[in-house]
Structure 1
Amino acid sequence: MMLTIEKRNAVLKTMMTLVKDNAPTILKANKIDMDSYNGEDLAMGDRLKVNDAKIEGMIESLRQLAVLEDPVGVERFSFKHDNGMQVYNRTASFGTVMIIYESRPDVTIEAGGIAFKSGNKILLKGGKESLHSNLAIVDLWHKALQENEVSTDWMEYLNYNRTETQAFLKNPTQRIDLIIPRGGERLIQFVKENAQCPVIVSGRGNNFVYVHKHADQQMALDIIVNAKTAKISACNAVDKVLIDADLPNKVTFEAELLKRLRASNVEILGDANFAKDNNVSVIPNDAIWHEEFLDYKIVIGNIANTLEAIEKINEYSGGHSATIVTTAEAAADNFMAAVDCAAVYHNASTRFTDGLEFGLGGELAIGTDKLHQRGPIGLQHLVTNKWYVHGEGQIR
């Protein structure tokens, strides 16, 4: 049975208070997870860690969700048939949404909250590395539901290992209408291979910056360094840079770029031309252009022109985000129209591909397929639709 929007909002507001009041409990649980983590993967460690700032982010996401309009029942289309029937198309909840994610306890709040606000039952399957953090947060969800006389079945945590998860995906013991994997390529591929229902592919980055020959070079430096170093664990971080062969004072620009990247301890690889000109390690093979690093690592290459930059990005990127830095409006328009990514930028960092930054009040995921929704998936996107037809005995 569908919960009213008043009931859903009440649960979110209660959850906001519970997270604030129980922050020490969440931090204590997260310390157990952090102490157990081996630290081999910098990105995973960054995603796993919960601190005061992340707690504030959880609270803020719940606050914003609670005041957003109900995404369910929104009229998208209406039509009055010649025979008198009235036809409407309105948004509807999916039903049960399963979110499978790695290392990020904040997903238990943000993604779970978006899916709940849009009228869905939630199945959460977090990674073993964040188990204690996730269970502490799910316990708060259950308290928020109970305080508002709502069944705890609306938010269920599946404490399954990989084998159990695979078995559940292949033969679910309950109905699942949509699965959203949040994590690396291995997780996404695992879910796609085993799921028996629609899957929204989310999270793979491998983003590009193209420095056009008419770029503001100081702007280009600032954008590249920000996109690479601000948060390496984010899927909107940049991994590849293409520099136009006709860029004026190219040698000086490249030297300054290397200097600034090295100041942040970024490992720099180059294609044959860039490596030769700048005394950096050459890429082992072209396959590296496909890789998402999630690390202090970058590949820089030279490119002949905008057309070749577009072709390279479309061949190798993850379909997430790409930026052109240029003062030439026509080149920017051409680039943005032709590049096949969910978000395309002119003179801005790829780090903005984020639901909150795009005005969505947070995101469930960032879709990199073209169906169901591309880019940040906000509250208003986590819906399907239904047709409502009102008649008076009409037959065809």
Structure 2
Amino acid sequence: MKLLDTKVKNDVLQSMITIIDKRRDEIIEENKKDLESFNRNDQALYDRLVVNQSKVDGMIQAIKEVKEQEDPVGKTISEKTLDNGLKIVNKTDPFGTIMIIYESRPDVTIEAAVLAFKANNKIFLKGGKEANHSNIILEKCWHEALEENELSTDWISLLHLNREETREFLSNPPEKIDLVVPRGGDKLIDFVKRTAKGAVLVSGRGNNFLYVSPDADWDTAKKVIINAKTDKISGCNALDKVLIDSHLPDFEVKVKDLAETLENDYKVEILVDGKVEDVLDKPTLPTKDTWTEEFLALKIVLSSVESFDEAVEKINTYSGGHSSVIITEDDNKALEFMQQIDCAAVYQNASTRFTDGGQMGVGAELAISTDKLHHRGPLGLKQLVTNKYYIWGNGQIRE
């Protein structure tokens, strides 16, 4: 796709803001069709599927934020002139064509597309069948905005493919796909990594851990744990595992206090391990694989560790590489934890729920990357470009 002027891109986004606002009731009605046919047994997936007036407002706000951000394309990263007279300039450049595969959330149809388009990328959107009606109406809005500004609708395309057709598309794409982003659970990620021909950037899996050190402020620990676990169970930034140092003063009293609050006030199902088994009469972990499981439910593991080093080892062994927290009053211990933990986001005394593009000052996000190439953490507008070297000469040859 050709490079577009920033004004043209922003005009499309302004059109999209107007169109979504005008068609908001229609969007919500189409979403109701998806909700009516959805099995509510999976509450987390259902929550992600809902589009209401507030969600539409959020879509509009996401587009406004991206519109107001600086165009990330064509920015100079470095510039130098060599002794031989060659001028070498490194600039940001679009990826080209991006494909995102995601489950449920119709708002991804807005956020992924607005980011890709502003960064001058073509995007293929492969949403889940459970959000089909919602995604179709949102694609129509995008196409209306593009046509209103005399641009091809090929910039943003919703794929209507079943699993086998998706497999074929990934393994034998009809055109070059420069980046594939699977946004969902382990099964989706494994499927894409095994199938895709292009580069894959993994996103979406949580299984986040929190370690309570012996010097932790208990009120802070409780507040952070409750928020991280219960604020939004469907988020990949929700908390699943809590490791409480056995040397925490009044260990048994505090464990009972936490469990009573989680269970009685927030209806959280508790699984126990380690010395917590001796304190709470609760089910133990059914299998060792539970340590690697992302719950996406009102469910949590409370366990003990004997030391800081054991906590670090356990987190690095089992976490999804998304977010981890230490509760401590010792800033040096917090820094050591942050340096040793292999996650995209590491915290001291704060909830994992802040691992979010909007909360971290990035703005709208395509996904939260748990990969290390080419970017880790929220994939915002600035992360949806690659780079290119421009070399200016006047006849130089290498001798």
The 5 Å alignment of 1:93-242 reads 93-242=94-243
TM-score normalised by structure 1 residue count: 0.99
Matched, 1:85 2:86: yes
Structure 2 residue runs without a partner (length 5+): none
Match of 1:328 among 327, 330, 337: 330
* 2:300 corresponds to: 298
Q: What CA distance in whole angstroms lies between the structure 1 residues aligned with 2:251 and 2:351?
A: 21
**SS in structure 2 opposite 1:179?**
strand
The Cα shift of 1:5 comes to 1.1
Q: Which moved more, 1:276-285 or 1:40-49?
A: 276-285
The Cα shift of 1:285 comes to 2.6
TM-score normalised by structure 2 residue count: 0.98
Percent of aligned pairs sharing the same letter: 52
Q: What CA distance in whole angstroms lies between the structure 1 residues aligned with 2:70 and 2:292?
A: 39
The Cα shift of 1:87 comes to 0.1
The Cα shift of 1:316 comes to 0.3
Q: What CA distance in whole angstroms lies between the structure 1 residues aligned with 2:111 and 2:350?
A: 26
Matched, 1:308 2:310: yes
Between Structure 1 and Structure 2, how many residues are aligned?
A: 396
Matched, 1:66 2:67: yes
Match of 1:367 among 349, 366, 369: 369
The 5 Å alignment of 1:243-258 reads 243-258=244-259
**SS in structure 1 opposite 2:91?**
strand
Query: Could you tell me which amino acid in structure 2 is paired with residue 6 of structure 1?
Result: K
* 1:264 corresponds to: 266
Matched, 1:280 2:282: yes
**SS in structure 1 opposite 2:132?**
helix
CA deviations over 1:324-346 (Å, ceiling 9, x no partner): 01101121111011000000000
The Cα shift of 1:183 comes to 1.1
Q: What CA distance in whole angstroms lies between the structure 2 residues aligned with 1:162 and 1:286?
A: 30
Query: Could you tell me which amino acid in structure 2 is paired with residue 47 of structure 1?
Result: R
* 2:348 corresponds to: 346
Query: Could you tell me which amino acid in structure 2 is paired with residue 321 of structure 1?
Result: S
**SS in structure 2 opposite 1:336?**
helix
* 2:29 corresponds to: 28
Matched, 1:50 2:51: yes
Q: What CA distance in whole angstroms lies between the structure 1 residues aligned with 2:307 and 2:330?
A: 13
Q: What CA distance in whole angstroms lies between the structure 1 residues aligned with 2:279 and 2:231?
A: 27
Q: Given that residues 272 and 282 in structure 1 are in contact (C-alpha distance below 8 angstroms), is that contact kept between their aligned partners in structure 2?
A: no
The Cα shift of 1:372 comes to 1.4
Q: Given that residues 203 and 369 in structure 2 are in contact (C-alpha distance below 8 angstroms), is that contact kept between their aligned partners in structure 1?
A: yes
* 1:389 corresponds to: 391
The Cα shift of 1:241 comes to 0.1
CA deviations over 1:179-234 (Å, ceiling 9, x no partner): 11111111111111110000110010000011111111001000000000000000
Matched, 1:40 2:46: no
The Cα shift of 1:102 comes to 0.6
Q: Given that residues 246 and 275 in structure 2 are in contact (C-alpha distance below 8 angstroms), is that contact kept between their aligned partners in structure 1?
A: no
Matched, 1:9 2:10: yes
**SS in structure 2 opposite 1:44?**
helix
Q: Given that residues 256 and 279 in structure 2 are in contact (C-alpha distance below 8 angstroms), is that contact kept between their aligned partners in structure 1?
A: no
The Cα shift of 1:272 comes to 3.7
**SS in structure 1 opposite 2:279?**
helix
Q: Given that residues 241 and 301 in structure 1 are in contact (C-alpha distance below 8 angstroms), is that contact kept between their aligned partners in structure 2?
A: yes
